[in-house]
């Protein structure tokens, strides 16, 4: 990786609004790189990011190509940084490759610039919760530990300069990050795969391609590295065959080398001996999916030598992750859960399972990612405690079709709802004593929102407004 960036010509493809590319741009400006930024979004659409970037010295020297891409920007650069949202098959990236220009993403840059050991976490579900919980545990003893990556609040390049060689940064890595790391044969020292489920088929040709991208997390590890895999998930478990690392597992249903659950107690087996770690008691997170996330985090913590008492204390204090099956509170005995980052049917099924026999008003729906809604439809159709309200979107239409095959119909007034505000108002009309309102879309957000966090914040705002009205 480049050490002296002064005068280096760098193109950032995709500034976006999530903050990752913005932090990379800020970092490069401070090092006097000659920067070009291109994005299919217009300056008006990128106003939030551009306003923040404009405060950095050197902003006026940036060349911008916005609202389009220009072939000429891809022919004379020392490096191109590809935003994770940019497809690998982009014709503009092909032009860059013809001109032998290196293409990286922020994860590749981070791995190239940070000299210490990295903890990488990936998975279709649970990677944000696992990453955050692990960070919460590690901070009890590794005071300079940080979390960054795909998680919305902390881009990698916002923490890079803070790190010490012994910080053990926890990076949440998406399949898009991993594609780039695969090109450079990079894997982290400690790799955690929470699970691999069918997702993102709107981006990948098939599930095998998606799984292949996830496998990069362990594929280039050495025999000095550690892989932590979900024994209860077939695809995660199969990654043991493609890594040279020392493999540990976590499981809620089997005794394994690693961490396992038995009678509400977590145990750690290092391959020779077994020890009790912690009991599930007075935790603020619940649901089988969260216990699985906890098992993964505990396993990594044990392999790093964290004391059991600190693991236990961190678990009891952990309140979960914002917008991931997040309990927002009660209003007149109605419980509110914000699970807005649930963008697949599997994720919504996990939330429904965690709520057990409660009466649930399920606010769901959005844009399809070429996923199968049969299992979700079956649970809804066969559970009289679940009342669905569907936002507009192609994913919602697939769910309706799957429900129709089961002779279950959603009244017209409760489907194809054009906005979250309207859906929320409709849901309130159905409230009865001890009901739960669960916002868990089971689909992507792009037909109504710029990303899943925007819809999450809007739902949170709607609930908070009601809470304030109650207090008056």
Same domain membership, residue 401 and residue 313 = no
The 10 Å CB-count burial string (b at 16+, else e) for 443-456 is bbbebbbebbbebb
Q: How far apart are the first and last CA of the chain?
A: 58
Predicted confidence band at 413 (pLDDT cuts at 50, 70, 90)?
confident
The answer as to whether 238 is a domain residue is yes
For residue 172, the Cα-to-chain-centroid distance in whole angstroms is 7
Same domain membership, residue 42 and residue 151 = no
Element housing 466 (H / E): helix 452-471
Same domain membership, residue 406 and residue 313 = no
Highest mean pLDDT among 152-166, 192-206, 268-282, 408-422: 268-282
For residue 307, the Cα-to-chain-centroid distance in whole angstroms is 28
HSE of 337 in the Cβ direction (CA atoms, 13 Å)?
28
DSSP letters for 274-327: EEEEEE--S-S--SHHHHHHHHHHHHHHHHTT--HHHHHHHHHH----TTSSEE
The answer as to whether 410 is a domain residue is yes
The answer as to whether 449 is a domain residue is yes
What is the pLDDT at residue 472?
A: 56
Element housing 10 (H / E): strand 9-13
Same domain membership, residue 276 and residue 384 = no
Mean pLDDT of the chain: 93
Predicted confidence band at 351 (pLDDT cuts at 50, 70, 90)?
very high
Read off the CATH number of the domain in which 463 is found: 3.90.190.20
pLDDT of 386 above 60: yes
Domain count, the chain: 3
The answer as to whether 412 is a domain residue is yes
What pTM did the predictor assign?
0.86
Element housing 261 (H / E): strand 258-262
Which long-range CB contacts under 8 A does 412-418 form with residues at least 24 apart?
Answer: 414/388, 414/389, 414/390, 415/389, 415/390, 416/390, 416/392, 417/365, 417/389, 417/390, 417/391, 417/392, 418/392
Read off the CATH number of the domain in which 250 is found: 3.40.1190.10
The answer as to whether 185 is a domain residue is yes
Predicted confidence band at 411 (pLDDT cuts at 50, 70, 90)?
confident
Read off the CATH number of the domain in which 93 is found: 3.40.50.720
Same domain membership, residue 453 and residue 383 = yes
3-state secondary structure of 190: strand
Same domain membership, residue 353 and residue 251 = no
Q: What angle do CA 209, 214, 220 make, to 5 degrees?
A: 110
Same domain membership, residue 330 and residue 462 = yes
Same domain membership, residue 66 and residue 29 = yes
pLDDT tens sequence across 68-116: 999 999 999 999 999 977 888 899 999 999 999 999 999 999 999 999 9
19-44 mean pLDDT: 95
Percent of the residues in the chain that have a pLDDT greater than 70, as a whole number? 99
Q: Which residues, 6 or more positions from 425, have their beta carbon under 8 angstroms from its beta carbon? A: none
3-state secondary structure of 165: coil
Q: How far is CA 388 from CA 238, 340, 345, 418, in A?
A: 36, 15, 13, 15
What is the pLDDT at residue 471?
A: 62
What is the pLDDT at residue 309?
A: 97
Domain that holds residue 388: 326-471
Last residue of a domain, one of 317, 334, 351: 317
pLDDT tens sequence across 46-57: 999 999 999 999
407-435 mean pLDDT: 89
Same domain membership, residue 365 and residue 312 = no
3-state secondary structure of 177: helix
Q: Sheet of 147-149: strands edge to edge?
A: 147-149, 170-172, 119-122, 190-193, 226-230, 246-251, 258-262, 265-269, 274-279
pLDDT of 434 above 80: no
Residue 230 contacts residue 249 (beta carbons within 8 Å): yes
Same domain membership, residue 135 and residue 33 = no
Last residue of a domain, one of 104, 122, 149: 104
Same domain membership, residue 337 and residue 226 = no
HSE of 53 in the Cβ direction (CA atoms, 13 Å)?
30
The answer as to whether 357 is a domain residue is yes
Same domain membership, residue 208 and residue 97 = no
Last residue of a domain, one of 283, 317, 351: 317
β-pairing, 147-149 with 119-122?
Answer: unpaired
What is the pLDDT at residue 78?
A: 97
Percent of the residues in the chain that have a pLDDT greater than 90, as a whole number? 81
The answer as to whether 368 is a domain residue is yes
The answer as to whether 165 is a domain residue is yes
């Amino acid at each position: 990786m480049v050490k002296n960036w002064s005068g280096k010509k760098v193109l950032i493809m995709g500034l976006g609004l999530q903050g990752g590319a913005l932090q990379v741009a800020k970092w490069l400006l401070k090092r006097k790189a000659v920067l070009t930024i291109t994005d299919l979004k217009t300056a008006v659409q990128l106003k939030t990011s551009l306003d923040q970037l404009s405060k950095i010295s050197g902003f006026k020297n940036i060349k911008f190509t916005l609202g389009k891409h220009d072939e000429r920007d891809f022919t004379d650069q020392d490096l191109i940084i590809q935003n994770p949202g940019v497809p690998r098959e982009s014709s503009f990236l092909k032009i860059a490759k013809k001109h032998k220009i290196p293409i990286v993403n922020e994860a590749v840059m981070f791995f190239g610039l940070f000299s210490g050991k990295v903890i990488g976490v990936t998975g279709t579900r649970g990677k944000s919760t696992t990453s955050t919980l692990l960070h919460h545990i590690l901070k009890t003893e590794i005071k300079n530990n940080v979390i960054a990556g795909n998680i919305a609040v902390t881009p990698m390049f916002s923490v890079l300069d803070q790190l010490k060689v012994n910080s053990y940064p926890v990076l949440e890595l998406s399949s898009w990050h991993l594609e780039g790391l695969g090109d450079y044969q990079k894997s982290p020292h400690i790799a955690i795969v929470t699970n691999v489920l069918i997702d993102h088929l709107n981006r990948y040709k098939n599930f095998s391609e998606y799984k292949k991208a996830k496998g990069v997390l362990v594929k280039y590890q050495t025999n000095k590295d550690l892989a932590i895999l979900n024994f209860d998930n077939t695809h995660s478990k199969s990654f043991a065959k493609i890594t040279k690392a020392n493999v540990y597992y976590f499981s809620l249903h089997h005794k394994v080398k690693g961490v396992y659950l038995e009678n509400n107690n977590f145990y750690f087996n290092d391959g020779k001996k077994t020890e009790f770690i912690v009991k599930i008691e007075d935790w603020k997170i619940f649901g089988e999916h969260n216990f699985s996330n906890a098992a993964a985090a505990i396993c990594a913590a044990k392999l790093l030598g964290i004391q059991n008492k600190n693991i236990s204390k961190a678990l009891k204090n952990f309140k979960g992750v914002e917008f991931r099956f997040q309990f927002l509170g009660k209003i007149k005995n109605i419980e509110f859960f914000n699970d807005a980052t649930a963008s697949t049917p599997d994720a919504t099924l996990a939330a429904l399972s965690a709520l057990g026999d409660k009466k649930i008003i399920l606010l769901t729906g959005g844009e399809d990612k070429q996923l199968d809604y049969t299992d979700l439809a079956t649970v809804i159709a066969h559970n009289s405690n679940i009342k669905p309200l569907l936002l507009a979107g192609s994913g919602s239409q697939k769910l309706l079709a799957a429900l129709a095959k089961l002779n279950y119909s959603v009244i017209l007034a409760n489907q194809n709802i054009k906005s979250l505000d309207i859906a929320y108002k409709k849901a309130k009309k159905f409230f009865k004593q001890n009901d739960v309102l669960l916002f868990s879309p089971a689909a992507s957000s792009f037909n109504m929102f710029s990303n899943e966090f925007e819809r999450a914040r809007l739902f949170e705002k709607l609930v908070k407004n009601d809470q304030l009205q109650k207090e008056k």
